[in-house]
């Protein structure tokens, strides 16, 4: 949205500019469009899943300026000028999986996979703030993401493995 | 589940926001963190014609220690309070309470003032504000007014705010230095709205007896309730087991008759209220500095 010199008017549509996974997008959006629907329908980034659409299930979790949020509880127009990371932005350009994705694959941290993108984004922000979480902390931080298949055991195992590898990678980089 | 049509404005100045709210009265709603309003829109339980997004109003973005209270402006997110060194140092009870709100993803967007304005009877912050005997600041084109918590929460999702008025600040009074405090709640799953919760602030006198008591509950009626009947039981005592049992028994009567719903019966809420009373009094008293 441009800087407004005049008193702001009420709008039904608005032009927005966002950076999603490092790419710039400019679109005109209806103001009532949810960020989750903008990502899926406008940008065709369908990795962000939509479950309950009232902030309970966690499937639509994305990073907004680095912080994990529910993309179903925010309008696309509100993301104007902000940077968003979705599950599509996790793997590197050379198609290597992110260590969190790799750990989920190896530890069978998913079955049907519907909740997985939201969980990966949550885990990403968790491990950034707390690189060495206890099992209790992992379970607490995951409490905002519902999985109906796994019983969570292997998700917790995957987070532990991802944390271990990311810490090892971090300390290697520090030694270099 | 998609929100109904509405018109949207995102002013950068408080005066503009107030003017927009004044133009449209009851047809307009304030959008801050959106963690309560957007679900209501998605489920079409609310359908305002106009939304005034206040997220760009930088003058409302402050956590300020004032004489007698901590002031929090309308765009401060719950997560920022959780991570605030000032709050941790001066009003740690607020952090303990905020950590019970929803999940991390919700607190990253949800605002402190928005939770107060939404006035859900099962929400944590309205109960804390009631317990502390705090105040809110409401502004409109007519000027500003300060409202006491117990006069602000008028019933289920209802407040003393008038059409065209906007909540711009919440004031959490400081706790006496020697006071012990605690907040406990019972929810079926982590992050769910609690069935019942209780906050207690107990100040000891020189003989280590309870001099003042502030006790408030969530989930027991249409709005948060400060329980003076329970407070009067503990004042003057040393918070022994017998006193806590008596307080617990009396706290049952705080729960309104019509609190049975799909989550819990009134009788179950009474049992929870009694047990939480027992525990919150002990936890608060154990933290006092005698």
CB B8 within 8 A of CB A8: no
pTM value is 0.94
Chain B environment of A10 (Cβ under 8 Å)? 7-9, 20, 50
Residues B261, B247, B217, B181, Cα dihedral to 10° = -150
* Token digits of residue B6: 């509405």
The lowest-confidence range among A67-76, A84-93, B66-75 is A84-93
Q: How far is CA B76 from CA A126, B110, B163, B195, in A?
A: 21, 8, 23, 26
Closest CA to B132 of B189, B181, B78, B79: B181
CB B196 within 8 A of CB B269: yes
How many other C-beta atoms can be found within 10 angstroms of the C-beta atom of residue B163? 12
Chain B residues in contact with A61 by the CB 8 A cut-off are 105
Helix (H) and strand (E) counts in chain B: 12, 14
B130/B8 Cα distance (integer angstroms): 33
| β strands within B163-220, DSSP E | 166-173, 180-186, 196-204, 210-218
- pLDDT bin (cut points 50, 70, 90) of residue A6 is low
Residues of A in Cβ contact (< 8 Å) with B27: none
Quote the minimal CA–CA distance from A175 to chain B in Å.
Answer: 30
Chain B CB within 8 Å of residue A55 CB: yes
| A70/B20 Cβ within 8 A | no
Chain A positions in Cβ-Cβ contact with residue B105 (cut-off 8 Å) = 58, 61, 68-70, 122, 144
pLDDT tens-digit series, residues B268-282: 999 999 999 999 999
Residue A27's alpha-carbon distances to A11, A18, A82, in angstroms, are 15, 9, 13
Closest CA to B53 of B103, B14, B104: B14
Distances (CA, A) of A156 to A8, A103, A123, B192: 48, 10, 10, 21
Residue with tokens 């309104």: B256
Distance CA A102, CA A166 (A): 11
Provide φ and ψ at B130, rounded to 5°: -65, -45
Kindly list the distances between the CA atom of residue B289 and the CA atoms of A24, A122, B179, B209, B284, in Å, as whole numbers in the listed order: 56, 39, 7, 11, 11
CA–CA separation, B64 and B187 (whole Å): 32
Rounded to whole angstroms, the Cα distance separating B28 from B48 reads 6
Mutation target to probe the B interface, by most B beta carbons within 10 A, among A6, A7, A8 is A8
Q: How far apart are CA A157 and CA A53, in angstroms?
A: 28
- A147's enclosing H/E stretch is none
Q: Are A70 and A51 in contact (CB under 8 A)?
A: no
More confident residue, A172 or B42: B42
Instruction: Please say if the pLDDT value at position B214 is more than 80.
Output: yes
**3-class DSSP state of B209:** coil
pLDDT digits (tens, 9 = 90+) for A30-48: 999 999 999 999 999 999 9
User: Residues 6 or more apart from A58 whose CB is under 8 A from it?
Assistant: A51, A70, A115, A118, A119, A122, A144, A145, A146, B103, B105
- Total residue count of chain A as it appears in this document: 176
Q: What does the alpha-carbon distance between residue A84 and residue A38 come to, in Å, rounded to a whole number?
A: 12
ipTM of the complex in this document: 0.93
pLDDT score at A123: 98
Q: Which two tokens stand for residue A7?
A: 């008193």
> Which residue in the set A4, A11, A58 is minimally distant from B12, CB to CB?
A4
User: Using the beta-carbon criterion (under 8 Å), do B2 and A55 form an inter-chain contact?
Assistant: no
The reported pLDDT for the residue numbered A4 is 47
| Among chain A residues, CA nearest to B39 | A54
CA distance A139 to chain B (A): 10
pLDDT exceeds cutoff 60 at B10: yes
> What is the Cα B93 distance to its own chain's centre?
12
A108-140: per-residue pLDDT in tens?
999 999 999 999 999 999 999 999 999 999 999
3-state secondary structure of B147: strand
Which tens digits make up the pLDDT trace of A81-109?
999 999 999 997 777 999 999 999 999 99
Interface of B with A in 38-57 (CB under 8 A): 38-39, 41-43, 50-51, 53, 55
Residue in A closest to B13 by C-alpha = A7
Q: How far is CA B230 from the centre of its chain?
A: 20
Whose CA is closest to B114, among B31, B15, B11? B31
A1, pLDDT greater than 60? no
Contacts of A143 in chain B (CB under 8 A): 103, 189-191
Question: In a 10 Å sphere around its CB, with 0-12 CB exposed, 13-18 middle and 19+ buried, how is residue A163 labelled?
Answer: buried
Q: What is the pLDDT of residues B176-202, one digit of tens each?
A: 999 999 999 999 988 889 999 999 999
Half-sphere exposure of B192 (CA within 13 A, CB side): 11
B137-165 pLDDT per residue, tens: 999 999 999 999 999 999 999 999 999 99
């Amino acid at each position: 949205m441009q800087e407004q010199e005049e008193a702001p008017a009420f709008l039904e549509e608005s032009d927005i500019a966002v950076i999603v996974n490092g790419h710039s997008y400019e679109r005109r959006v209806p103001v009532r469009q949810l960020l989750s629907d903008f990502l899926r329908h406008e940008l065709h980034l369908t990795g962000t899943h939509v479950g309950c659409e009232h902030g309970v299930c966690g499937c639509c979790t994305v990073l907004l300026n680095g912080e994990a949020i529910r993309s179903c509880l925010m309008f696309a127009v509100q993301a104007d000028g902000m940077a968003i990371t979705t599950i599509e932005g996790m793997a590197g350009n050379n198609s290597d999986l992110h260590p969190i994705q790799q750990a989920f694959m190896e530890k069978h941290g998913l079955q049907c996979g519907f909740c997985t993108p939201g969980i990966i984004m949550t885990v990403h922000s968790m491990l950034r703030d707390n690189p060495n979480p206890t099992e209790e902390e992992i379970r607490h931080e995951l409490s905002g993401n519902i999985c109906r298949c796994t019983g969570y055991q292997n998700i917790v195992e995957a987070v532990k493995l991802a944390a271990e590898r990311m810490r090892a990678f971090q300390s290697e980089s520090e030694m270099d | 589940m998609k929100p109904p049509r509405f018109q949207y404005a995102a002013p950068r100045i408080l005066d503009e926001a107030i003017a927009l709210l004044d133009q449209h009265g009851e047809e307009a709603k304030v959008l801050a963190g959106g963690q309560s309003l957007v679900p209501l829109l998605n489920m079409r339980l609310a359908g305002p014609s106009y939304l005034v997004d206040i997220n760009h109003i930088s003058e409302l973005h402050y956590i300020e220690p004032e004489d007698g209270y901590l002031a929090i402006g309308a765009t401060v997110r719950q997560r920022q309070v959780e991570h605030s060194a000032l709050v941790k140092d001066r009003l740690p009870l607020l952090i303990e309470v905020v950590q019970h709100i929803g999940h991390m993803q919700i607190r990253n967007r949800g605002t402190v003032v928005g939770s107060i304005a939404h006035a859900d009877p099962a929400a944590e912050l309205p109960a804390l504000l009631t317990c502390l005997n705090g105040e809110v600041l409401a502004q409109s084109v007519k000027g500003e007014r300060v409202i006491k918590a117990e006069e602000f929460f008028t019933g289920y999702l209802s407040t003393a705010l008038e059409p065209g008025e906007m909540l711009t600040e919440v004031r959490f009074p400081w706790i006496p230095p020697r006071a012990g405090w605690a907040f406990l709640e019972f929810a079926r799953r982590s992050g769910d709205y609690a069935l019942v919760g209780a906050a207690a602030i107990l100040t000891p006198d020189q003989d280590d007896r309870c001099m003042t008591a502030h006790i408030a509950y969530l989930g027991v009626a249409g709005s948060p309730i400060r329980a003076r009947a329970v407070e009067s039981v503990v004042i003057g005592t040393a918070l022994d087991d017998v006193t806590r049992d008596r307080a617990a028994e009396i706290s049952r009567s705080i729960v309104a008759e019509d609190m049975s719903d799909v989550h819990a019966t009134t009788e179950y809420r009474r049992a929870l209220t009694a047990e939480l009373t027992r525990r919150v009094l002990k936890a608060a008293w154990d933290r006092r500095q005698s």
